[in-house]
A and B are shown apart, each in its own frame.
Chain A
Amino acid sequence: MLEQLKEIERTALAALEAVQDEAALETWRVAYLGRSSPLMQVFSKLGALAKEERPVVGQAANEVKKALEAAFGSRSEMLRQAALARALSEERLDVTLPGRPIARGRLHPDTQILRELYRVFAEMGFQVYRSREVESDEYNFQLLNFPVGHPARDMQDTYFIEAEGRGDNPIVLRTHTSPGQIRAMREMAALNPQNPPPVRIILPGMVYRYEQVDARHETQFDQLEGLAVGPGITFSDLKGTLTDMARRLFGPQARTRFRASFFPFTEPSAEFDIECFQCGGKGCDVCGSGWLEIGGSGMVHPVVLQNGGYDPARYTGFAFGFGVQRIAMLKYGIPDIRYFWENDLRFLEQF
C-alpha cells in the first residue's frame, strides 16, 4: 500500500510537469485529486485495512494528498503568471495616439486677468465695486472736476446717447470707471456723514472712448481703477501699492516709474510705467526705452473728495486706473487688442 502511494505521487508529479495550460491542469486535478483518482481510491479502501495499518497508510495518504495539492497550487500560480505575462505583452498600445477629446470650457481671457487683479488687490484690502456703464455727464465728468466745456474733456473722446432736453447733462457711455468713485464714496459717506468710513475699492468695468480701432486701440475696453480714501493716505502709499501690484503681475523684480501728468480728478497726478520685463529696462521693440506705459494715477482731487462727501481738509486719497486688456496683452503676449471682443474660438481656445 505504501509503495502504491509512492508510485501514485511520483506518477502524478511527473504528469504535472507536462501540464502547460489551465485545461490540462483541470484534467490533471480530476485525474489525481478527483473522487475517482487512485489516491482517493486509497482513502476509500482504508477501512478494509488491518487496524494497525490504517493510521500508517492513512497518514501517508494524507501526506501525498498535501504534496499533490501544494504542487497543484504552485503549478496553477506558475501558469497564471505565464498567461498574464503573455496577455500583457499582447496588450501593448500606441501610447502616442491622441487621447479622447474633451470639450474643455474656457473663461474669457478678460475674466482670467480680472480675477488675477481681484486677487492681488483683495490681499491689499481692496474690494470690488461695480457701477453702471451708461452714465450722466454729471457723474462721468462734472463731479470728477471736468467742468462743462473744459479742454480736459478733449482727453476722453466721448460717445453720447441720443436724449432730449438734457442740456449740459447729456447721457454718455462712461469714458472711465471713475463715476463709480463718486457713487461709492457717496454710499459710504451716507453710512456716517459726519465721519465717513475709509474707502478702499477697485472699480472694474467696460468703458468707451470714441476712437478709431486698431491693433493697439479699442473703442470699448475694460478699465480697472483703484480708490483709497482715509485720514492718512499719501502719494508714497500710491507708489507702494502700484509697485506691489507690478511685482505680483510681472515678478518680484518689477519696478515702477511715476511721471508728472494731469487728470482733472487727481492732484498731484502721475502716469505710471512698469519696467519692461522683456528686456529688463534696456529698451526693446515692445517698450521702446525700457518702460511700459500702464496707466494714470494721483491723489484724489479735493473737489472730487468733496463731491463724494469726504471733507478734503480731513481726508486724502489716491486713485489709479489702467486698461485691463493692456495688462492681459503684456502677460499673455496677445498681439492685437481687437481679438478680445471678436470672440473667435481660435483665439479663445488658447486660454
Chain B
Amino acid sequence: MKAPLSWLNDFVDIDLSIPGLARLITMAGMEVEAIQIIGLPMPAPGSVDAHVSGLEWDREKIVVASILEVMPHPNADRLVLCKLFDGQQEHIVLTGAPNLFEYKGKGPLAKPLMVAYAKEGARIYDGHQDGQVLTTLKRAKIRGVESYSMVCSEKELGISDEHEGILLLGEDAPPAGTPLADYLGDAVLDVKLLPSYARCASMLGLAREIAAMTGKSLTTPNVERYTSPAGDFAEIEITNPDLNPRFVLGLIKRIEIRPSPEWVQRRLKLAGMRPINNIVDATNYAMLELGEPLHAFDYDVLVKRAQGKKVKIITRTARPGEKLTTLDNIERTLDESTVLVCDTAGALSIAGVMGGLESEVSDKTVNVLLEGAAWNFINIRKTARAQQLPSEASYRFSRGVHPAMAERGVRRCLDLIQAWAGGTAAPGLVDNYPLPPASPTIELTASDVKRWLGIDLEIGQIKSMLERLEFHCLLTTDQCLQVTAPDHRLDIGEGVTGKADLVEEIARVYGYENIPETRLSDLLPPQLGNPELDKEERIRDLLVYQGLTEIVSYRWTTPERESRRLLPTAPPDDKPYLRIANPLAYEKGFLRHSVLASVLDTAERNARVRERIALFEIGPQFLASEDSHGLPDELQRLAIVLSGPRTLPGWQPADLAPMDFYDLKGVLTALLDGLRLPEVRVEPGEHPSFHPGKCAKILSGEKQIGVFGELHPEVRARYDWPASFRTPVLAADLDLAALLSLIPAIRTTNPVPTLPPVLEDLAVVVDESVPAERVETLIRQTGGRIVADASLFDVYRGEKVGAGKKSLAYSITYQAIDKTLSDKDVAGFRARILRRLEQELGAKLRA
C-alpha cells in the first residue's frame, strides 16, 4: 500500500524524519519496501532499508511562480512565451505545454496561473526521455529566444509520468516565490502489509499505528452524519450472511460529474490510483482513507431495471455458468462460489472485487447509489484469484474488513461527494446487518504478559498501551483487565489465543527492542541426541576421507532423464512418479525415483570441466505409496559415482590408469569397514544399469543393502559425455536406511598382540568359477582366531595352473594371543585349511 506522508499527516502529527518514520513502521510489523521522495530532502544512504527513489527539489531554484500572460512565439506555432513572476522578478519563459495554448494571445490574465518554476541550475528529470533521466537546466537559445528556466510538468518534477502539459497548481497554491517543496513536497511510503495487518490498509489505519507508537493523538474523520432515519430508497436481501455479513446503501441525488479537485487527484495518484471523476474518486478516496472499499451505482439505471418497483439489492452466489460484463468490459463466466451483487433484473457486480459495466457511474449519472458492504475474506480471495482480478478492493476485502467499516465508509463517501460533486444526500442509510462478528472479551493479567514476554509490567501500563490502539479495557478489582477489540479489527481471537494476540500488541507498543535477552532456563528435556543422524554423518566422513566429494541435488527431474540410468532394452521403471501439479517447468515436474540418477547427471555435467569424478549423495528418493495416509515413501539412499584416472595427474609419474570395479569396491569396503558392519558380503549381481560381468550386490544375511558395478556400456552411452571423457563409469546405489540399521551402537576392539606372529604365504589352485571370497572366508573360518589376517596378494591364470583354473595366493598371519606359535602349530593349521579348501572347493596347493 502506498501512503503519502501528507495524507497521514491529516490524522496524526508526524514529527519524525522520513528514515525515522520508516523505521518505526517497520519495527511495528509493516515493512516499508520503498520510499518515493517528492521534492523533500533525500534520506542519507544507508539510513533506510527501503528502496529510495525520487527527486529533491532545490528550495531556491524550484519555486511556485505565477504566469501573468501567455504570448505567441514569433517563430514557432507549437511554442508559447510566458510572462512569469517568480516572487522576485519577471521572466519570459518558453514552453510547448499544450495546456497553456488556450491562454495564448489573451493578454494579461485576470487570474494568473500558478505553476512550478525551475530556475537556471535546477536539477530535474528530462521530460523528453523515457524513464527518469536527471538533467540540469542550462542557458540555451531555442528558436532565437534565450531560455534559462522552465515551467515544469509532473514528470520533470518526479511526481508522476505525466508530461502532456505543465503542472497547474490548485487554488490553494501559496504565493509566487514559495519553495515548491513547502507546498507539494511529500514522501510516499510503500508499505507491505502482512495478512494480520488488514486494519492498516488505509491512511487512517496506518496513522493509528503511528499515533500509538509515538504517543501522539489521532484525529479521525467525522462520520456521524446521515444516521437516521433509515432510508427507504432501496431494500436489501442477503441470502448468505456467512458470505455477506452486512450491506449498507446510501443515496445522493442531483450530483454533477466533473473532475475532482486538484489536490484530490494528486493524492490519488500518489497513492497509486488513477483519478476518474469526482464520484469514482470519492469512493476511492474514502477507501484509501478508511480502508472500506465502496462502490457507486448509477441509481437511475437500477430504477429502470426495477421496472417501477422499489430498487432491491440481492446478494447471492452465482449460478453455474452465469455471466457478467465487468467495468473493464470483459465478459466473465462465474462459478458457484462467486458472490454477486444483484438486483431483481440480474447481476450488477462481482461482490468485493469489481463492478459491472451496465450500472457503473457515467458522465450522465445524476443520482448515485453508494454501496458499502462486508464480505467473507476467504471467499473474496478465492474469487479474486479465480478471476485473476487483483484490485484495491479485493486487496482489502480478501484480508478481512470489519463490518463496522461498511457504514462508516458510506457516510464518509457521501460527505466527500457532496463536497466535490454537490447534490443532496437522501436522509438515512439502508442497512442490513445479519451477522455482526463476535467481539470476545479477553481477560488479561500482568502475569500473562510476564509468562509470554518475560517482562514485568504494571497492569496500568498494560491498560494504557492497549488503549493507545483503541482497545476497550476495564480494570477489575482483582487487577485483571477485561479487554475487547475495537471495531476496526478482526485479528483478535478469544481465550488463550486472544491473550497471545493482546500480548503481541503490548510487545509492539513496548518495543521489541526493549525486551531483554535471556538464556533459556526452563526445564531441559532428556538429551537423547539423534543417533541416526550421527551415523549418516559418519558415512559422509568416511567417503570424504576417501577422496569423494559430496553433492546435494534438486529433488526434481523427469522420467525421461532418469530412464537413462537403465538399459534401453530393460523393462521401464513403471512405478508412478510423484508429479508436481504446478511445476516451474516440465524439467522440474517430477520427484526423483533415483538418487543415483541425480549423481550420474551431476557427473555428466562435471565431466566437461573435470576428468576425474568421485561423487556421492545422500538423500531421499520418492515413491508413491498407498500407506501413511497417501503420503509417498521417502527412501533414503546413498549413491556413488566414480570415473577417471586413479590418481590426479601431476608433474611426476602417477597412476593414471582409469578407475575400475575394484576401485569402487575398495571405497565400499573401506566404508563398510569404517562402519564396523558385521557379516556383510558381496555376491555377483545383475541389474539393468550395470555390465553383466561387473556387477555385484552387497548383502547382509538375505537382505540386499545395495548394488554396484561398472555401468553397462549401453547405459554409459545414454549420457552426453564429452568426447575426451572415455573412462568406465562406476556406480553404487545403497539403501541408506538398511545400512544405518546395521551399524552397531557399541563395538569391540581386539587387543594388540605382544607375541610375534608367524607369516606365511599360501597359494591354492581352484576352478575359475570359485569366487575368491569363498576361499578367504574358508581360510578364516578354519583358522579361527589363530588366523589374524588373510589377504590376497596375487591372482594368476595361465599354463602353469592349467586351463579353467586360477591360482590365488594369500599372505596369512598366524597369531595366538597367549603363546608363541611353533612351526609345528602352524603346520597343523595349514594342513587343516588345505583339507577344508580341498573338500569344499576342490582346491589344490599350488606346487
Number of chain A residues whose Cβ lies closer than 8 Å to a Cβ of chain B: 104
Is the CB–CB distance between A151 and B520 below 8 Å?
Answer: no
Is the CB–CB distance between A161 and B634 below 8 Å?
Answer: no
Stretch with Cβ within 8 A of A (4 or more), from B447-455, B713-721, B814-822: B447-455
The 8 Å CB contact of A235, one of B453, B591, B629, is B453
Q: How far does the Cβ of B574 sit from chain A's closest Cβ, in whole Å? A: 17
Interface residues of B in 456-513 (CB under 8 A from A): 495-497, 499-501, 503-504, 507-508, 512-513
The 8 Å CB contact of A98, one of B452, B553, B578, B650, is B650
Is the CB–CB distance between B522 and A313 below 8 Å?
Answer: no
Interface of chain A, main secondary structure: mixed
Is the CB–CB distance between A161 and B522 below 8 Å?
Answer: no
- CB-CB < 8 A to B45: which residues of A? 283
Which residue in chain B gives the minimum CB-CB distance to A105? Answer: B544
The 8 Å CB contact of B454, one of A134, A212, A237, A257, is A237
| A160 touching B515 in the complex, CB below 8 Å, given contacts A230-B523, A288-B46 | no
Which residue in chain B gives the minimum CB-CB distance to A288? Answer: B49
| A262 touching B196 in the complex, CB below 8 Å, given contacts A105-B543, A235-B515 | yes
The 8 Å CB contact of A302, one of B29, B496, B632, is B496
- CB-CB < 8 A to B579: which residues of A? 161-162
- CB-CB < 8 A to B748: which residues of A? none
Is the CB–CB distance between A267 and B500 below 8 Å?
Answer: yes
Q: How far does the Cβ of B382 sit from chain A's closest Cβ, in whole Å? A: 6
- CB-CB < 8 A to B614: which residues of A? 103, 105
Stretch with Cβ within 8 A of A (4 or more), from B241-249, B413-421, B528-536, B805-813: B528-536
Q: How far does the Cβ of B616 sit from chain A's closest Cβ, in whole Å? A: 9
Interface residues of B in 537-581 (CB under 8 A from A): 537, 540, 543-556, 578-581
| A100 touching B606 in the complex, CB below 8 Å, given contacts A234-B518, A268-B507 | no
Which residue in chain B gives the minimum CB-CB distance to A191? Answer: B526
Number of chain B residues whose Cβ lies closer than 8 Å to a Cβ of chain A: 103
Interface flags for A210-226 (1: CB within 8 Å of B; 0: not) read 10110000011000000
Which residue in chain A gives the minimum CB-CB distance to B548? Answer: A105
Point out which of A105, A199, A241 has the most chain B C-beta atoms below 10 A from its C-beta.
A105
Is the CB–CB distance between A237 and B519 below 8 Å?
Answer: yes
Which residue in chain B gives the minimum CB-CB distance to A97? Answer: B651
| A127 touching B549 in the complex, CB below 8 Å, given contacts A234-B518, A260-B29, A267-B497 | no
The 8 Å CB contact of B525, one of A125, A262, A341, A345, is A125
Is the CB–CB distance between B530 and A128 below 8 Å?
Answer: yes
Interface residues of B in 583-617 (CB under 8 A from A): 583-584, 588, 591, 602, 605-606, 609-610, 612, 614-615
Is the CB–CB distance between B381 and A134 below 8 Å?
Answer: no
In the complex, A35 has a CB within 8 A of chain B: no
Is the CB–CB distance between B508 and A260 below 8 Å?
Answer: yes
- The count of A-to-B residue pairs whose CB atoms sit within 8 angstroms is 287
Q: How far does the Cβ of B39 sit from chain A's closest Cβ, in whole Å? A: 23
Is the CB–CB distance between B648 and A102 below 8 Å?
Answer: yes
Q: How far does the Cβ of A122 sit from chain B's closest Cβ, in whole Å? A: 8
The 8 Å CB contact of A241, one of B497, B519, B584, B622, is B519
The 8 Å CB contact of A258, one of B378, B512, B523, B606, is B512
The 8 Å CB contact of A290, one of B46, B508, B547, is B46
Q: How far does the Cβ of B627 sit from chain A's closest Cβ, in whole Å? A: 12
The 8 Å CB contact of A268, one of B455, B500, B533, B620, is B500
Interface flags for B714-752 (1: CB within 8 Å of A; 0: not) read 000000000000000000000000000000000000000
Q: How far does the Cβ of B639 sit from chain A's closest Cβ, in whole Å? A: 13
- CB-CB < 8 A to A161: which residues of B? 578-581, 591, 632
In the complex, A2 has a CB within 8 A of chain B: no
In the complex, A133 has a CB within 8 A of chain B: yes
Is the CB–CB distance between B197 and A262 below 8 Å?
Answer: yes
- CB-CB < 8 A to A188: which residues of B? 525
In the complex, A349 has a CB within 8 A of chain B: yes
Is the CB–CB distance between B554 and A149 below 8 Å?
Answer: no
Which residue in chain A gives the minimum CB-CB distance to B381? Answer: A151
Is the CB–CB distance between A343 and B553 below 8 Å?
Answer: yes
Is the CB–CB distance between A149 and B382 below 8 Å?
Answer: yes
In the complex, A301 has a CB within 8 A of chain B: yes
Interface residues of A in 257-301 (CB under 8 A from B): 257-262, 264, 267-270, 282-284, 288-291, 299, 301
Is the CB–CB distance between B649 and A101 below 8 Å?
Answer: yes
- CB-CB < 8 A to A291: which residues of B? 49
- CB-CB < 8 A to A219: which residues of B? 584, 588
In the complex, B388 has a CB within 8 A of chain A: no
Besides A127-B529, A230-B522, 9 other A-B contacts (C-beta < 8 A): A103-B547, A104-B547, A134-B632, A160-B582, A208-B555, A235-B452, A302-B500, A343-B615, A344-B609
Q: Which residues of A contact B (CB under 8 A)?
A: 97-98, 100-108, 110-111, 115, 118, 122, 124-125, 127-130, 132-136, 147-152, 154-155, 159-163, 166, 171, 173, 188, 197-200, 206, 208, 210, 212-213, 219-220, 228, 230-237, 239-241, 243-244, 256-262, 264, 267-270, 282-284, 288-291, 299, 301-303, 312-313, 316, 340-346, 348-349
Q: Show 23 A/B contacts (Cβ-Cβ < 8 Å), sorted by A.
A: A100-B650, A103-B547, A105-B545, A127-B530, A128-B530, A134-B578, A135-B631, A136-B629, A149-B381, A151-B377, A155-B195, A160-B581, A163-B630, A198-B525, A234-B451, A235-B452, A259-B26, A262-B194, A288-B48, A299-B452, A299-B503, A301-B500, A345-B606
